[in-house]
A and B are shown apart, each in its own frame.
Chain A
């Protein structure tokens, strides 16, 4: 049984959404709007360069976090975002000031994308006093009120009602901000997700449910955990429209993001974006990843890597030389090295912090 399922899941699925002509595939069970998959637009040189740099920053940061974990500087659970960078960067390009972001525990990429300081994030990973949570949250629990980043939540799916509540606050205040609520294909099977879908649709709340389908809920392939593997359809019973997006192509993500924020801002209620993506590393640092083949990972890395796609376009269009891109990599590596040095030398929290921030 498991063998057959694994076989099915081994087919490369992501990357097809963006290239396939838009098809109206949602069965007309009710009057849920049927949306076309937005066609990715060509990026300008500036967009290509900036998305290249921002995605590379996440990748280098995560590689460094993996190293520091191996050295014992980072403890507990540490979930790396490598492979999924195009999702947060593409969505960030579609957002505007005031929009909020909330996600689960694979959250380092989201924090860097919202502009949080790599030093503060890394110092939180090492449990030091200058970390975003003063060392009391760790990898899975970080927040930045300033950057409208609402965490960092360690319980699978719990961020979905919370993100819906943030959208309720937006509507209550009458502002036009949108809540970007990220969760994975694993969380998509939690009951509270559907409780949230129901309320968001009922009350027409401005929330984008971004399902990062990286094809494995920890070690369980989507086809082994989910009766309906088309996550864009998961809102059908609540009349929430959804589209599948090539989450490895930052341009496709941005195009879908543009459409979704416009949908929410114009008062149409919630929308679902299924980002078809892939994580290269294990679920967490302690995952031997025996549930998938090396070929599958290698194929994804060599054929669909979100950063390589941009690099290739930049070089093909002669918008940047190899040396230019090396310089970007150097700059990013320096930022990450600085963050890592800081996070290793920053002192641990003062013992008095044990009893602070429990109540206001």
Chain B
């Protein structure tokens, strides 16, 4: 049967083009790859190549024709033994293929101005798990966040031979911040791997190993350096499960100190909580206490998804009570009510909690009963706990050290506005780092970060005590 040659689409957006030139004439023999015509699109002049072998039987669209729609038959190709006489009327009827193709359907929907709401399925909401009960009489041990993190890794490495840790100075040096102290001695160089200073490369190597079934913990000396690895984290780790239709994903933990330390200036002081929380396919954890650090890191290592685990250098040395249990694992995605209260809700996470806690002490003295929520996980975010609290207190202040625009607090404020608008008695105040690169000078650095005074003032404002 004679083959129709159709006006090809030569780019994702092309809908029509001009047939600027026929290179072959009727009756010419053509072989696959031969250029038969030239087409002008809005972007360029392109050549149309023959796909099949045969003879150009009839030209249907003359040279110079403008605005030829994609998929319009432009010529008829005859196979061996066929002649132009074989061309019935049927052969020149334009096929409706383009109209049925999915691309066109989408274009129609867009043309209506708004996507049809019915066509957009709702995201599945998962019930948030609760913290495990700690049996009465459990011994509490005081330990630093640093020790808690190390214990979490050591316990998981004992439990699962597929868990390994890699990063700069994690082995021989015992960790740039001593978080991996002793791991090399216990687990050996095969499982505790010193990498060269190549964040992009070793993040990708870790993700590849995770694709192949290992469960790597990749330590960044600081998340500031993970900007080099952002492409691998976002494009390879976070998106592969989706792009693979669920066949293959990356069970990997990226961890390390995040945010401002002390006097290390703009390039070493950035908080990435909001950045990573933007990405579907990642989980983002940012603990404050040693107990949360331990329980959540163990959960992160067991999680089959890529988890960003944001620590803080200043918190490493702080001590907290940690339950002495054989296997203390906390749920990712569940906030913790740090202190109950009636008058106002403060939501924070990571080192932001230190401002909340100090401000609460002052505010208590003024007779303001503050509820403090430690989010612990930024993504998936436990908004239910926040909304429930706001329904009770009717007032909300958020605290974080990251930049103010598109901050975690902005997201919380927008969600609470949508879900608890009628419960709010005051505008939400979102406290963040100042909108400046982190300065070096001690006084300026202090000004760039949130402060207890700011928190106290914000709470007074939303409770109309100012």
Chain A positions within 8 Å of B, measured between CB atoms, are: 63, 66-67, 69-73, 75-77, 100, 102, 126-127, 131-137, 141-145, 150-155, 158, 160-170, 172, 191-192, 195-196, 198-199, 202, 280-281, 285-286, 288-290, 294, 297, 301, 348, 351-352, 354-360
In B1-60, the 8 Å CB interface with A consists of 6-12, 14, 32-33, 35, 43-47, 49, 51
Asked if B196 and A202 make an inter-chain contact with CB atoms under 8 angstroms apart, the answer reads yes
Asked if B51 and A66 make an inter-chain contact with CB atoms under 8 angstroms apart, the answer reads yes
Asked if A161 and B207 make an inter-chain contact with CB atoms under 8 angstroms apart, the answer reads yes
Given contacts A75-B103, A165-B209, A192-B201, whether A143 and B235 have CB atoms under 8 Å apart is no
Cβ-closest 3 pairs across A and B: A165-B208, A161-B204, A195-B201
Asked if B235 and A75 make an inter-chain contact with CB atoms under 8 angstroms apart, the answer reads no
- For residue B304, which residues in chain A have a CB less than 8 angstroms away from its CB? 360
Asked if A143 and B200 make an inter-chain contact with CB atoms under 8 angstroms apart, the answer reads no
> Is B180 an interface position by the 8 A CB rule?
no
CB distance from B387 to the nearest CB of A (A): 21
CB distance from A129 to the nearest CB of B (A): 9
CB distance from A219 to the nearest CB of B (A): 11
Asked if B101 and A73 make an inter-chain contact with CB atoms under 8 angstroms apart, the answer reads yes
Interface residue from B51, B121, B212, B246 paired with A357 (Cβ < 8 Å): B246
Asked if A199 and B211 make an inter-chain contact with CB atoms under 8 angstroms apart, the answer reads no
- The CB with the most chain B CB atoms within 10 A, among A151, A162, A290, is that of A162
Given contacts A168-B208, A192-B201, whether A136 and B245 have CB atoms under 8 Å apart is yes
Interface residue from A75, A202, A359 paired with B12 (Cβ < 8 Å): A75
Asked if A71 and B236 make an inter-chain contact with CB atoms under 8 angstroms apart, the answer reads no
- For residue B121, which residues in chain A have a CB less than 8 angstroms away from its CB? 351-352, 354-355
> Is B361 an interface position by the 8 A CB rule?
no
Asked if A143 and B248 make an inter-chain contact with CB atoms under 8 angstroms apart, the answer reads yes
Q: List 8 A-B contacts (CB under 8 A).
A: A69-B8, A70-B8, A76-B12, A158-B231, A161-B202, A165-B209, A168-B209, A168-B214
Given contacts A158-B235, A166-B212, A357-B242, whether A196 and B205 have CB atoms under 8 Å apart is yes
> Is B247 an interface position by the 8 A CB rule?
yes
Asked if A285 and B10 make an inter-chain contact with CB atoms under 8 angstroms apart, the answer reads yes
CB distance from B164 to the nearest CB of A (A): 7
Given contacts A100-B212, A199-B202, whether A358 and B51 have CB atoms under 8 Å apart is no
> Is B92 an interface position by the 8 A CB rule?
no
CB distance from B113 to the nearest CB of A (A): 20
Q: A126-B102, A355-B122 are in contact. List 20 more A-B contacts (CB 8 A).
A: A63-B32, A69-B9, A70-B71, A75-B102, A76-B12, A131-B245, A141-B243, A155-B236, A161-B208, A162-B208, A168-B205, A168-B214, A172-B214, A191-B200, A195-B202, A199-B201, A202-B196, A288-B47, A358-B242, A360-B304
> Is B104 an interface position by the 8 A CB rule?
yes
In B204-235, the 8 Å CB interface with A consists of 204-214, 231-232, 235
CB distance from B380 to the nearest CB of A (A): 8
Interface size on B, residues (CB 8 A): 71
Asked if A280 and B232 make an inter-chain contact with CB atoms under 8 angstroms apart, the answer reads no
- For residue B44, which residues in chain A have a CB less than 8 angstroms away from its CB? 288, 290
CB distance from B20 to the nearest CB of A (A): 12
In B265-297, the 8 Å CB interface with A consists of 280-281, 283
* Complex alpha-carbon distance, A61 and B407, angstroms: 48
* Complex alpha-carbon distance, A353 and B70, angstroms: 30
* Complex alpha-carbon distance, A88 and B11, angstroms: 27
Asked if A133 and B245 make an inter-chain contact with CB atoms under 8 angstroms apart, the answer reads yes
Asked if B209 and A166 make an inter-chain contact with CB atoms under 8 angstroms apart, the answer reads yes
CB distance from A18 to the nearest CB of B (A): 24
> Is B110 an interface position by the 8 A CB rule?
no
Asked if B243 and A136 make an inter-chain contact with CB atoms under 8 angstroms apart, the answer reads yes
1/0 per residue, CB under 8 A from A, across B105-146: the answer is: 000000000000001111110000000000000000000000
Residue of A nearest to B95 (CB): A71
